[in-house]
Amino acid sequence: MLHLAFAALGSLHLLTSVSAQTWCNKNYMSSQPVVPPGGNFPMAAPSADPLLAFRCAAAMKPYLEEDVGTPAGVLVDSPVVYSVISGAEPIDLPSGPLSSAGNLDVTVSLNGKTLAKALVPLNASAYELPFSLNGITPQMTPYNLSCEATYLATNSAASSSSTQTYSASAALSVLPNPTNSSVTKMDLRTGALLARPATGLGGEYEPIFPIGFYTTFDGYLSTNLSAIDILKEQG
């Protein structure tokens, strides 16, 4: 039994020594070999012909019951790419620069009801289409937005004779107002996180600076709170 106890302690010491040579499971000492971390994303296959990666998303996640009556929005992306990425479909473009190749006639609907309709330029990113939340009942499960686009070429004779249509979908969360909890929103127009003041007294949603391990490392913020204001000024 004593022999087994010493063997167990020896194994524990060996495991501790080995684990101490790594940080986040990676070698960090100069005497250790370089180990490729892996996890690389595969490169998308190239495409000789242009593809349209039509996408849409709610501008805010989530909306709340109290937001009904205030402007809401759907963001539309319409990049023209030459890589075979998810959701990209062929688009027949006229000759000439892309800036004068036409627009997309986009319709956003919910359960068959049109929420927004507008012309969106090609190669747009986060192009916002405003709509109203009136008539949308708050619920815990997200709604499914339908986004449809028809390509309108500037010179129809130079493009495909058939109608070119594209579709995408997006989740729309309209939640009941919280009663005993808080809500953090994400503004997809900027990527910012929004929250009410932590006083419990209400107030407007404002951007917050998320605190994580590396932002507090070595007392970075505790010794220099003005860094938050500097980062805010820098966007």
Residues 167 and 91 both lie in one domain: yes
Residue 9, in any domain of the structure: no
Look at the block and give the residue holding tokens 């003005």.
Answer: 226
In this predicted structure, what is the pLDDT of residue 214?
62
Domain boundary among 127, 144, 175: 175
Residues 96 and 193 in one domain: no
- Does 224 score more than 70 pLDDT? yes
For residue 215, pLDDT beyond 70: no
Return the closest-CA partner of residue 176 out of 67, 72, 69.
67
H/E stretch holding 199: none
Specify the number of domains making up the chain. Answer: 2
**Exposed/middle/buried for 88, CB within 10 Å: 0-12, 13-18, 19+?**
buried
Residue 130's domain comprises 46-175
* Residue 46 pLDDT greater than 90, yes or no: yes
- Together in a domain, 113 and 211: no
pLDDT at 219 over 70: no
Q: Are residues 158 and 57 in the same domain?
A: yes
Picking from 232, 209, 189, 177, the residue whose alpha carbon sits closest to that of residue 71 is 189
In a domain, 103, yes or no: yes
More confident residue, 10 or 54: 54
pLDDT at site 35? 81
Nearest to 131 by CA among 193, 76, 186: 76
Determine the pLDDT at residue 230: 84
Is the same domain home to 200 and 220? yes
Considering the domain architecture, whether residues 212 and 158 belong to the same structural domain is answered as: no
Q: What is the pLDDT of residue 13?
A: 43
**Residue that is last in its domain, among 150, 175, 200:** 175
Domain presence at residue 146:
yes
In this prediction, residue 103 has a pLDDT band, given cuts at 50, 70 and 90, of: very high
Which of these, 153, 145, 191, 192, lies nearest to 171 by C-alpha position?
145
**10 in a structural domain:** no
pTM above 0.85, yes or no: no
Query: Do residues 164 and 91 both lie within one domain?
Result: yes
CB atoms < 10 A from the CB of 13, how many?
10
Judge if 111 and 166 occupy the same domain.
yes
- Domain match, 57 and 155 both: yes
Cα–Cα distance measured from residue 35 to residue 37, given in angstroms and rounded to the nearest whole number: 6
For residue 151, how far is the Cα from the chain centroid? Answer: 25
Lowest mean pLDDT among 12-21, 119-128, 185-194: 12-21
My answer on whether 72 and 140 are in the same domain is: yes
- Whether 226 is in a domain gets the answer yes
User: What per-residue confidence (pLDDT) applies to 19?
Assistant: 45
| Band of pLDDT at residue 1, cut at 50, 70 and 90 | very low
CB distance 113 to 18 below 8 Å: no
Given 156, 175, 194, the domain boundary residue is: 175
Residues 169 and 191 in one domain: no
Is 80 exceeded by the pLDDT of residue 161? no
Q: Where does the pLDDT of residue 190 fall: very low under 50, low under 70, confident under 90, or very high at 90 and above?
A: very high
Q: Are residues 111 and 70 in the same domain?
A: yes
* CATH code, domain with 112: 2.60.40.10
Q: Decide if pLDDT at 18 tops 50.
A: no
> Looking at the domain assignment, is residue 67 inside a domain?
yes
